[in-house]
Amino acid sequence: MSVELPKLGGKFIQMEDEIGSMASIIGASIGGLKSMTATSGPGISLMQENIGYAVITETPCLIVNVQRGGPSTGLPTMPSQGDILQARWGTHGDHPIITIYPHTVPEIFEETIRSVELSEKYRIPVILLLDEVIGHMREKIDIEKVDKNKSFKRKTPDVPNEWFFPYERNSSGVPAFADFGEGYRYHITGLVHDVDGFPTSKPDQIDAFMKRMFRKIDDNLDDILDWEEYELEDSEYMILAAGCVARSAKQAIRTLRDEHGIKIGLLRPKTIWPFISSVLIDKAQDKKKIFVPEMNMGQLLLPTQRFASSICDILPFNKINGEAIYPHELVSFIRRNI
Amino acid sequence: MEKNVVHKYLRKNKKFPHIWCPGCGHGVIMSSMLRAIDKQGLDRDDVAVVSGIGCSSRTPTYVDFNTIHTTHGRALAFATGLKLAKPDMTVIVVMGDGDAVGIGGNHFIHAARRNMDLKVIVYNNNIYGMTGGQASPTTPSGKKATTARYGNIERSFDICELAKATGAVYVARSTSYHVQALEKYIHRSLSKKGFTVVEAMTHCPTTYGRLNKIKEPVAGMIYQKDHFIMKAAWDKLPEEKREGKFPMGEFVDIEKTDFVSKYLRLIEANKE
Ligand SMILES: Cc1ncc(C[n+]2csc(CCOP(=O)(O)OP(=O)(O)O)c2C)c(N)n1
Ligand code: SF4
């Protein structure tokens, strides 16, 4: 980005630490730019406080987290899916968030564009969660497929200054964003605030603000959620997996179907937060078992159990040794457990 | 007319009374800042006031500019992003001493090193005011704080020396007693391009004052009057007479190209 951005008139800065990186992209977004940062491991922990700031101030921005193994310095840079729940709950306080989990390099390309759009549209930080396996991979992308003239613009206010409420409660749940310098002089704060942007401690105003923050996401799941179904049509068994594990799962499914006659398919959330709960409930109905392989001790397992444990059996497969999950491991695990 | 110049920049719709304790020095600094902005003739739409967290950092709430109250210690990093997005905007950053050189110390030295064109005003009350008086990096040795009940055994930071050493193009110190000098220094900093720091010593009757026997607001101001002396006079003082006294005035005033100007040139040179 340090090479490409200046050529296009964009701005790049290497900040002193990840706390600063997160802060500066929020500042840039307030100034009207689409902004992003990227990190891994300890860096995402450092970003969490200011991710919460972006949530409460409803400032669009994109955070890429290429996960690495272990807490602390952990396993630089070996694969893990240890940050799935941190992406949801990493910053303190109750809050909504959007997290997108691509599984190939071309998909990273597409989903980065979609993530920025979602972020601008719903005024929320979006986390693009990647696996190291994909992060360090080279695959072809078809740039021609991208419509370069299509550029999502955030909704900005068109009312006179005196009528402007920076956090108004409108029907969409998403207030228009006034970029700094456009003549709307208003206040942005990480304190819970009322429609005018100023801090409040009045329960009815707090309630209205907090609920709107959730509602703007909950009311738009049709637009935000995305997932892939692979060989699910006639399947008796289902794998629920994300990122690089889903790639291994696809190959395992080929083997299990072609060589062992097992009817099995994959449900792969692309939007991982909010969770694809209604899709899961629907797909689980006619399944005998759901397998949840992941490179952690059961983070995707939790929402899967929450929504599907009353429908069918759910079986985790966990690997945390710094290696990817291989297709043959899934093949033998699934064969042993059906 | 001069008398009401501050009112022009206060948010009329909102947020008074302010949260500051009676007799707190923070309001004096805020009004000095507003007079300096007025003198500089800046358009309110082109001014941003960014703060961190603390009593001092509530300043943006009250003033009619583009304002951001960010997270503790991180105001300079937020302001850096904003300045990159809006190179023509005057970005003023107000912070407490704890905010600026405690939790935010890393951002402070790097924003100075980079020479970001940010106008820093540090409200230095020598303590963490908002949270009840914990020692800050500027609590003088021997002085009391709720976390240094027997007197602070740590050495304290000199914010102006720090700013000077890390590359600020303008560095000055005044107090909430020396109001005219304070206004003058802030005005001077607004007219300069690059990383500028005005350290405004302020009295905090509620925490620092109470713990250190300068409880009355007036006593706080008299303390400043007696203990802060102009740099020229300070330089002439023999070492033994400097004990308990502090220099004020302008310490640095140099020219250096700021980060954003350099970056805009870089864009110009590499444009496709
Ligand atoms: C990360 C974090 N740690 C602690 C706090 C609690 N906190 C709020 S204000 C404050 C101290 C502010 O002191 P200073 O910056 O000196 O400003 P003053 O209140 O004295 O003006 C602290 C520690 C916080 N908000 N965030
Ligand atoms: S605690 Fe001190 S700094 Fe804070 S408002 Fe009160 S007097 Fe001012």
pLDDT band for position B122 (cuts 50, 70, 90): very high
Q: Which of A23, A28, A196 is the closest to B85 by Cβ? A: A28
Residue B141 contacts residue B154 (beta carbons within 8 Å):
yes
- Kindly identify which residue of chain A lies nearest to residue B16, measuring between CA atoms: A198
CA neighbor of A262 nearest in space, from A297, A282, A287: A287
In a domain, A295, yes or no: yes
Q: What's residue A77's pLDDT? A: 86
Q: Does the beta carbon of B72 lie inside 6 Å of ligand 1?
A: yes
How far does residue A134's CA lie from ligand 2's centre (Å)? 52
Asked if residue A128 and residue A234 are part of one domain, the reply reads: no
pTM score, two decimals? 0.97
According to DSSP, residue A324 is labeled P
Bridge-based pairing of strands A227-230 and A264-269 is: antiparallel
Contact B85 A11 (CB under 8 A): yes
Q: Are residues A126 and A241 in the same domain?
A: no
Average pLDDT over residues B237-244: 92
Instruction: Give yes or no for residue B203 having a pLDDT over 60.
Output: yes
Rounded to a whole number of angstroms, the distance from the CA of A35 to the nearest CA of chain B is 9
Distances (CA, A) of B42 to A64, A144, A184, B48: 38, 47, 16, 11
- The alpha carbon dihedral of B248, B251, B257, B259 has a sign of negative
Which candidate from B53, B66, B80 shows the least CB-CB separation from A185? Answer: B66
B81 contacts A35? CB cut-off 8 A: yes
Burial class (CB in 10 A: 0-12, 13-18, 19+), A251: middle
State which of A145, A167, A193 marks the end of a domain: A145
Distance (Å, rounded) from C-alpha A177 to C-alpha A191? 18
Kindly write down the DSSP assignment for every residue of A189-218, as one continuous string. Answer: ESS-B-TTSSB---HHHHHHHHHHHHHHHH
CATH code, A38: 3.40.50.970
Residue A170 placed within a domain: no
**Cβ(B125) – ligand 1 distance below 6 Å:** yes
Residue A179 lies in a domain: no
How many separate domains does chain A show?
A: 2
Residue in this structure with the two tokens 């001493």, named with its chain if needed: B97
pLDDT at residue A8, as a whole number: 94
- Digits of tens for pLDDT over chain A (338 positions)? 999 999 999 999 999 999 999 999 999 999 999 999 999 999 999 999 999 999 999 999 999 999 999 999 999 989 999 999 999 999 999 999 999 999 999 999 999 999 999 999 999 999 999 999 999 999 999 988 888 777 888 999 999 988 999 999 999 999 999 999 999 999 999 999 999 999 999 999 999 999 999 999 999 999 999 999 999 999 999 999 999 999 999 999 999 999 999 999 999 999 999 999 999 999 999 999 999 999 999 999 999 999 999 999 999 999 999 999 999 999 999 999 99
Res B1 pLDDT > 60: no
* B127 close to ligand 2 (CB < 6 Angstrom): no
Residue of A nearest to B88 (CA): A181
Q: In this complex, which of B85, B267, B270 lies closest to A31 when CB atoms are compared?
A: B85
Q: What is the DSSP letter of B205?
A: I
Give the helix/strand (H/E) hosting A281. Answer: helix A277-284
Establish if A180 belongs to a structural domain. Answer: no
| Residues of B in Cβ contact (< 8 Å) with A13 | 80-81, 84, 263
> What's the distance, CA B78 to chain centroid?
16
Over residues B114-125, mean pLDDT: 98
- A281 inside domain: yes
Give the CA distances from residue A255 to residues A114, A245, A294, A325, B170, in Å, rounded to whole numbers and listed in that order.
33, 15, 19, 15, 70
Average pLDDT over residues B71-78: 98
Q: Using the beta-carbon criterion (under 8 Å), do B271 and A191 form an inter-chain contact?
A: no
- Comparing CA positions, the residue from B159, B74, B17 lying closest to residue A20 is B74
- CA nearest A147: which of A182, A103, A186, A117? A117
Closest C-alpha residue for ligand 1 atom 6 = B131
Chain B residues with beta carbon closer than 8 angstroms to that of A56? none
Give the pair of three-digit tokens for residue A189: 């704060």
B133 Cα nearest atom in ligand 2: 1
* Distance of CA B173 from the midpoint of ligand 1 (Å): 22
Q: Alpha carbon of A294 to those of A99, A309, B224: distances in Å?
A: 17, 18, 63
Q: Is A34 helix (H, G, I), strand (E, B) or coil?
A: coil
Nearest alpha-carbon partner for A282 in A232, A317, A231:
A232
Q: How buried is residue B96: exposed, middle or buried, by Cβ count under 10 Å (0-12/13-18/19+)? A: buried
- Separation CA B161–CA A61 (nearest Å): 36
Report whether B72 contacts B54 (CB < 8 A).
Answer: yes
For the four alpha carbons of B122, B125, B127 and B130, in that order, the dihedral sign comes to negative
CATH number at residue A251: 3.40.50.920
B157-177 pLDDT, tens digit each: 999 999 999 999 999 999 999
Q: Is residue A140 part of a domain?
A: yes
- The DSSP secondary structure of B131-200, one letter per residue, reads TT-EE-TTSPTT--BTTBTT---S----HHHHHHHHT-SEEEEEESS-HHHHHHHHHHHHTS-S-EEEEE
Query: Residue A18's domain spans which residues?
Result: 4-145
Band of the pLDDT at B13, cuts 50, 70, 90?
confident
Q: What's the complex ipTM?
A: 0.96
Q: DSSP characters for A56-98? A: HHT--EEEEEEE-BSSTT-BTT----TTHHHHHH-SSSS---E
One domain, residues A141 and A254: no
Tell me: do A23 and A135 sit in the same domain. yes
User: Inter-chain contact A27–B80, Cβ cutoff 8 Å?
Assistant: yes
- Cα–Cα distance, A42 to A39 (Å, whole number): 8
- pLDDT value, residue A151: 80
Query: Is 90 exceeded by the pLDDT of residue B152?
Result: yes
CB contact under 8 A, B50 and A27: yes
Yes or no, beta carbons of A6 and B266 under 8 Å apart: yes
Q: Label residue B3 by pLDDT band (50, 70, 90).
A: low
Domain-terminating residue out of A92, A111, A145: A145
Distance CA A131, CA A97 (A): 19
A97 within some domain: yes
CA separation (Å) from B234 to B142, B182, B237, B244, B245? 22, 18, 5, 12, 8
- d(Cα B9, Cα A307) in Å, to the nearest integer? 54
Cα B130 to ligand 1 centre (Å) = 6
Does one domain contain both A137 and A10?
Answer: yes
Last residue of a domain, one of A145, A173, A200: A145
Nearest CA in chain B to A190: B70
pLDDT value of residue B14 = 72
CATH architecture of B21-269: 3-Layer(aba) Sandwich (3.40)
Q: Which residues of A touch B (CB under 8 A)?
A: 6-9, 11, 13, 15-17, 19-21, 23-33, 35, 49-50, 53, 180-183, 185-191, 196, 198-199
Strand order in the sheet with A264-269: A227-230, A264-269, A237-240, A289-294, A313-318
Judge whether A25 and B81 are in contact, CB under 8 Å.
yes
B146, B107 contact by CB (below 8 A): no
